[in-house]
Amino acid sequence: MPAAVPPAKEPANEPDGAPRIATLDILRGIAILAILFMNISEMGASMTANWSDLHHLGWSASDRIVWWLRTILIEGTPRAMLQMLFGAGMLILTDRIDARSSDPLSVPLRYGWRNLVLWAFGMAHMLLLLWPGDILHSYAVAAMIACLFRGLPPRALLVLGLSYATFTMALGVSTVSHRLADPTAAFASATRTAKADDAAVAREDAFGHGTMAQWTAGQRAVSMDRLRNEEVVIVWEAAATMLIGAALFRWGVLQGAWSRRRYGWLLAVGYGIGVPLRLYGGWEATRLEGGFDVAWLWEDFARLAMTMGHLAAVMLAVQEAPGRRLLQPFVAAGRTALTLYVAQTLIVSWLIFSPIGLGLYGRLDWTAMMAVAVAVNALLLWGANVYVRHFRIAPVEWAWRSIVERRMLPLR
């Protein structure tokens, strides 16, 4: 018999009465720290170069190793995990509101207000703390959209949740078909895109190496470009994945309620699909000869598959005593996730890379940036565990929930 799974709910020790679910905190803690491995290369070098010119960030033997590890294991999975957890949180919070009030407007008003405040925090993170890659504002909007479907059965939630991945694959097949039908036009389009990317890299590097005023203007320009051109897609992806998370929560997957055998199958299927797709995508991104890129067709399926593999691995670990001990520190990271996310921006983007910090923008290669991410995450994980021994709620969470509750919540 496997060791007992940790209790689904810890004591409701949040100042606003919200329950804690141990496995969700562990998953959230791992995801919020892992996301720095993705964000750091966009904080410390040209965002555009991250996908248009891998060599721009260094391409030594060690760079290639860390890039491949990041691409196969991490690319997109922290984002997917956080989106799934948002979906689970949406059910927890809205079920709680329903239990307290029979008013049909209670859920849209209270949950909508909560996400409106989160959206404002995200916009401040993007435009005041100057992180163009902020996810908070997008997830706030996506959560309100996902909430509209919360009453559906889990299978329907899953089908709707796969809409984004299915649409991108269908659109991709159509796009590739047109390119194959007219390779001359496709080559001309690719050439124009490459020139635009090169210009964007040069522009972003100029801002990164410039004065504080230039860096500020550059970060805000990238943010506004994202809001204009990418926000709808980002919100759709997030809302769809939140619905998958809601389905998984209804089935008990995120709470560790499945048997070891079922989690083992989930791990095998997730990695069995995700790893080969990621290997092909990595080969395609690093090949020297030209050709049509097709890995982006199934990238979202690969992202979801790898995330399910990671989820199953964590759930298998928490069902055994050694695994629970190993993962216990991540509970604190999960409880302080919002604060850690903002702290990553302040430490990495501002202190390490900005012109008023160490000014290391463009000076670290892939290997060095991943090493910095490990060091920063170790510091944040240690700090989170020290903090939760003395306080009940982290600073940014406290500010957010105090505004939501319209009262000053106790920190201790």
Q: Which amino acid, one-letter code, is at 213?
A: A
Q: Is residue 363 part of a domain?
A: yes
Residues 255, 21 contacting (CB under 8 angstroms): yes
Q: How many CB atoms lie within 10 A of CB 407?
A: 11
pLDDT at 260: 97
Q: How far is residue 276 from each of residues 46, 107, 212, measured CA to CA in Å?
A: 28, 42, 43
Q: How confident is the model at residue 381 (pLDDT cuts 50, 70, 90)?
A: very high
Q: Is residue 364 part of a domain?
A: yes
Range of the domain at 363: 22-405
Q: Is residue 411 part of a domain?
A: no
Closest alpha carbon to 131 in 364, 396, 341: 341
Mean pLDDT, the chain, whole residue set: 93
Q: How many CB atoms lie within 10 A of CB 224?
A: 13
Contacts of 402 (CB under 8 A, 6+ apart): 408, 409
d(CA 42, CA 295): 22
d(CA 387, CA 382): 9
Region 197-218 average pLDDT: 95
pLDDT at 194: 86
Q: Is residue 89 part of a domain?
A: yes
DSSP code of residue 20: B
Helix (H) or strand (E) run with residue 344 in it: helix 337-344
Region 62-71 average pLDDT: 98
Q: What φ, ψ does residue 295 adopt, rounded to 5°?
A: -60, -25
Q: Is residue 326 part of a domain?
A: yes
Reported as a single tens digit per residue, the pLDDT across 295-309 is 889 999 999 999 999
Number of domains making up the chain = 1
Q: Is residue 385 part of a domain?
A: yes
d(CA 131, CA 208): 13
Region 54-75 average pLDDT: 96
- Tokens coding 143: 């959560």
Reported as a single tens digit per residue, the pLDDT across 114-131 is 999 999 999 999 999 999
Reported as a single tens digit per residue, the pLDDT across 324-363 is 999 999 999 999 999 999 999 999 999 999 999 999 999 9
Q: Is residue 270 part of a domain?
A: yes
Q: How confident is the model at residue 3 (pLDDT cuts 50, 70, 90)?
A: very low
Q: Is residue 1 part of a domain?
A: no
Reported as a single tens digit per residue, the pLDDT across 149-194 is 999 999 999 999 999 999 999 988 888 888 878 888 878 888 898 8
